Structure 1
């Protein structure tokens, strides 16, 4: 599932220029939620997961890959189904164990001291390719090891407020736990964050 470009393979979760789309946002009453919440002008039932609005992207991987941009739906799919962030295939070496390999850099929605990350797992075969793409960020090594993908914990999102003519951006790049329904109603989620259990650092040998 990894896309190929003239510069090599592009990770499955990467967004491409042709997939980035802007849709007007509004606040409107939702009978399902029983509250006023952020919405697209023309909403679809699939726009919400865990009570939060997901960022919309195209799905054809056209144009150039956008450095640092993550495709929300593909990232979400990796987190929920245990897929490799690089190739998009199942990442668990032993599906029954629930244990996955991870290559985690400090980044949006990640706090390993508190045990959560927005980085999907990486299958063992793709670890070298993932390290070759991002060997060091900010002078620090990534965390490499295994952990149990525990459960969805939060979203990395932008929050909005009501403004004249529509919704106005309020805060960018904040972590919102999934039990904070009031903030989720005002948020546009870009990444799903999961909690990890039983982390064991080490290189696959």
Structure 2
């Protein structure tokens, strides 16, 4: 399933697997939820600084192994979603999504066709002009109806994740239509939520018709491998035998370095035998850790 060199990841029918998509090898890693010892909220008993972001949100632990196993087309990897939002990157190819310094294109599923509004919230990162036709054509959720907008800017609003009961620490029931409820930074439930997505609020919104969308993106060639894929393609860790015990940790450390800058990787060994590379740049400060 995984292509080699600088080729993109594609399905057997030629469709590209979006950059933010999960793969079956990227397992959700063990992480027992406990009460934070010093303040209200949840924590991991073995918590490290990379389990939280700069807003002190506790994040789900999920392995890194893009291209491993089969793509889970309905799944979104938390780290890559967060990276795309932070870096203004396209969710399909991973390249910068800005349109000639004029803002970004956002696509949202909407069977009813209600236009995107000012201040609307989303967990879907932007899409670059070159990937818009592909996304509209190949994305299963968009096939049931979508709306588009040109967005001048967006700001971080909160997180989406699993809210836990403050008394029992059990996950609270949620609406089937919203498996990951959205919680604002200032919401009292924020500290009781295990984050899986960043939520942003859109600003300077201009709804786009299909004709306007395609015109805006005309003559923009689709991009191939993401900058991260290109940086990693020739590295020995990605060409090592599958039974090499160092291949996984080396590849994941390199991925974190490629995303967040040299020297930022922390590969965290888990009791399951997997490893996890996490965001150093947006981690909480040491005194925030349990």
TM over 0.5: yes
Residues 47-72 of structure 1 deviation map (CA, whole Å, 9 limit, x = unaligned)? 11222111221111211111311100
SS in 2 for 1:3: coil
Instruction: Quote the residue 2:73 is aligned against.
Output: 67
Counterpart among 77, 83, 93 of residue 77 in structure 1:
83
- Find the aligned partners of 2:213 and 2:25 in 1 and give their Cα distance: 36
- Find the aligned partners of 1:64 and 1:135 in 2 and give their Cα distance: 17
Give the TM-score normalised by structure 1.
Answer: 0.83
Instruction: Quote the residue 1:161 is aligned against.
Output: 165
Query: Where do 5+ consecutive residues of structure 1 fail to align?
Result: none
Note if 1:142 corresponds to 2:146: yes
Maintained 8 Å contact 2:159/2:185: yes
Instruction: Quote the residue 1:47 is aligned against.
Output: 51
- Find the aligned partners of 2:18 and 2:154 in 1 and give their Cα distance: 23
Residues 125, 184 of structure 1: alpha-carbon distance in 2 compared, 3 angstrom cutoff: same
- Find the aligned partners of 2:44 and 2:69 in 1 and give their Cα distance: 25
Counterpart among 91, 104, 127 of residue 122 in structure 1:
127
Residues 136-166 of structure 1 deviation map (CA, whole Å, 9 limit, x = unaligned)? 6584x211231023210121111113677xx
Instruction: Quote the residue 2:95 is aligned against.
Output: 89
SS in 2 for 1:122: coil
Residues 145, 47 of structure 1: alpha-carbon distance in 2 compared, 3 angstrom cutoff: same
Maintained 8 Å contact 2:109/2:146: yes
- Find the aligned partners of 2:50 and 2:190 in 1 and give their Cα distance: 16
Note if 1:3 corresponds to 2:13: no
SS in 2 for 1:101: strand
Instruction: Quote the residue 1:170 is aligned against.
Output: 172
Deviation at 1:74, TM superposition (A): 0.4
Deviation at 1:106, TM superposition (A): 4.2
Higher strand share: 1
Maintained 8 Å contact 2:35/2:41: yes
Q: Give structure 1 regions of 4+ aligned residues with deviation exceeding 6 angstroms.
A: none
Counterpart among 199, 213, 222 of residue 203 in structure 1:
213
Instruction: Quote the residue 2:41 is aligned against.
Output: 37
- Find the aligned partners of 1:100 and 1:138 in 2 and give their Cα distance: 21
Maintained 8 Å contact 1:21/1:57: yes
Instruction: Quote the residue 1:192 is aligned against.
Output: 198
Residues 27, 115 of structure 1: alpha-carbon distance in 2 compared, 3 angstrom cutoff: same
Count of aligned pairs: 193
Maintained 8 Å contact 1:38/1:187: yes
Maintained 8 Å contact 1:156/1:190: yes
